[in-house]
Chain A
């Protein structure tokens, strides 16, 4: 069904554009829709959790697949899901079989299609890589209206199209269905070790030291600390708890295990929602206090703590619509990756942003293992990734982030397209040396260029 044009933004609530939105409930509806697309083109939209303009298409058509959300877990633990299914919908059926998502971003409210199109990474990237590396196949509706089942094996053209689609930000076609693997999770608990680190150097060295032996690792940084405290933060490393490590009611096998519907309730949408706020409560004062409090509340060292899987992976999902807290002008998440040799850029970014007093409530530092080198636009590269939220209303933000872009590029790094809302075409092209390869695959499968988005236009992808 095609609705009146509506204004769409990403999670950062910046740069709205209007587009006609068409919600489809079967892949068969796509062929006629694509045949009638006008010169402003078409793009798929998942749950709108990318921060910038990736899932919007001003003046054109936006297709949502919310109704294509069936989920099936096969006997070997592989999942077959409609591209409109939320990862939240996949978790319960997986856990009911003692398994979990192979990769999950920091929110479970993203779609399978969005997870593939951004080739998302999780806290286990250093061990398990990105989401696209766990795909068996996907069904892609291409510009001609035909559906192609493509995967990591097959004819060279199909394989190339598959890898361009993974991380391809919806620009190769519309993913309608996918099959991906899962990992073992014998219980619904995580064994978590926490280390509070007083400065950036100690945090980074702890991260490197503790990544071996832990499937999951992530550090929260106090984005507002300066001087000697710059980059202080809290590192957590974790593994799935085993059945002999938890009380029996946490085991996902055996007589006392939770039912699938009990599990589904735990991972349903949050019941607390932030209303729209006219004036952002997030400012330098409140956020300095929040960061200070969070840091102080963490134990200096605590090992072997058991935490529910939901609160470990999805602390931000407790409250719905928290993005509204940044006020009507929205916010930007600046996320870059640099190789180990470029680690100094992390300090530079924290210094520059704290120098303008950028009030940040979410700053996350992660290790990356080897990247998904087959996929030309996949973001992760071995080394570090830093993500910092900053309100878009800050006056000096533009020049400071432009300057950081240069530092990231000099260090051999790149920006994450799923988060970008302010880079230049040149910065993206320099960070993704295989952009031309991506372009030629796209040109081959969609010569008229019907798949396009605000992101693609803004960054001349």
Chain B
């Protein structure tokens, strides 16, 4: 389990190559961290992440093959990770952004994105919750997005998958209350990562490192929801109440 300063001794990252997740792993590193399990699809990128983390002196980096869409494999995979030792924090970081025009032209692509972002999350989050409850402690960090708070016409398919994920995490947080297991929902705005490198930056954009800091401080405080940057909390609460006719015309 974590120490008194909320420093983890072990981490499992679902979507182990995500830029945000890797930055978070670095921010959570400390002398007490001794096991980091990167669950990701085999790729050169995955090899590079392992090399980079290990090269920076991080101990106990392991990989396991993981495809978020292949839900039939999830139980065995998670069981074997937990059988080798407790996991303090699980980061649910996988996700695809896709392209709204493409989704509208090829609904099959939208189904694939929904399968990864939402179905994959349902499959892993519920199984992880049970495993954490069994060990009597632990935290699940879910990378949601402000895009799920109010779907915009420019990316509502992605937004809806994040809305589903966010709702799932919210309900799970309440259902786990008092079990020793906690859920932290992270709602970033635009983050400069490989997911968005082809896009112009949106206002209130952040770096992966800033998101990582938000996660660390959220975990230390025992928060359930963090926005990165924090100012987005106010912005989003405003946006939620903008009348539909106006919202529809906003250039966002």
Contact = CB atoms under 8 A, between A and B. Distances in A.
Closest 8 CB pairs of A and B: A58-B136, A59-B136, A14-B4, A421-B4, A18-B180, A17-B137, A422-B3, A18-B136
B2 interface: yes
B31 A17 contact: no
A393 B86 CA distance: 24
Contacts of A286: none
Task: Report whether over half of chain B's contact residues are helix, strand or loop; otherwise say mixed.
Answer: loop
Given A59-B134, A59-B135, A402-B30, A422 B5 contact: yes
Given A12-B4, A423-B3, 9 more contacts: A15-B1, A40-B135, A329-B221, A392-B4, A392-B5, A424-B31, A424-B32, A426-B31, A458-B32
A102 interface: no
B2 A398 contact: no
Contact of B1 (A53, A398, A399, A423): A53
Contacts of B136: 5, 17-19, 40, 57-60
In this complex, which of A17, A52, A399 has the most chain B Cβ atoms within 10 angstroms of its Cβ?
A17
A16 B180 contact: yes
A397 B5 contact: yes
A260 to B, nearest CB: 40
Contact of B2 (A15, A19, A423): A15
A330 interface: yes
Nearest to A20: B136
A332 interface: yes
A58 B1 contact: yes
B31 A16 contact: no
Contacts of B1: 15, 17, 53, 58, 454, 457-458
Interface residues of B, number: 23
11 contacts: A17-B1, A17-B135, A18-B136, A18-B179, A19-B136, A58-B137, A58-B180, A328-B222, A329-B222, A426-B31, A454-B1
A287 B137 CA distance: 33
A458 B220 CA distance: 18
Interface residues of A, number: 35
Contacts of B220: 329, 393
A33 interface: no
B238 interface: no
B192 interface: no
A7 interface: yes
Contacts of A15: 1-4, 137
Nearest to B86: A457
A59 B85 CA distance: 13
A405 to B, nearest CB: 8
A409 to B, nearest CB: 12
B187 interface: no
B161 interface: no
Contacts of B7: 398, 422
Interface in B1-35: 1-5, 7, 9, 30-32, 34
A74 B221 CA distance: 52
A7 B1 CA distance: 14
B30 A330 contact: no
Interface string B203-240: 00000000000000000111000000000000000000
Contact of A458 (B3, B133, B179): B3
Interface in A387-420: 392-393, 397-399, 402
In this complex, which of B2, B5, B32 has the most chain A Cβ atoms within 10 angstroms of its Cβ?
B5
Contacts of B180: 5, 7, 16-18, 58
B178 interface: yes
A458 B5 contact: no
Interface string A47-83: 0000011000111100000000000000000000000
Given A7-B180, A458-B9, A422 B4 contact: yes
A425 B179 CA distance: 27
Contact of B4 (A17, A52, A58, A426): A52
A40 B5 CA distance: 24
Interface in B166-211: 178-180
A318 B61 CA distance: 49
B90 to A, nearest CB: 15
A18 B135 CA distance: 8
A426 B34 CA distance: 11
A18 B137 contact: yes
Contacts of A329: 220-222
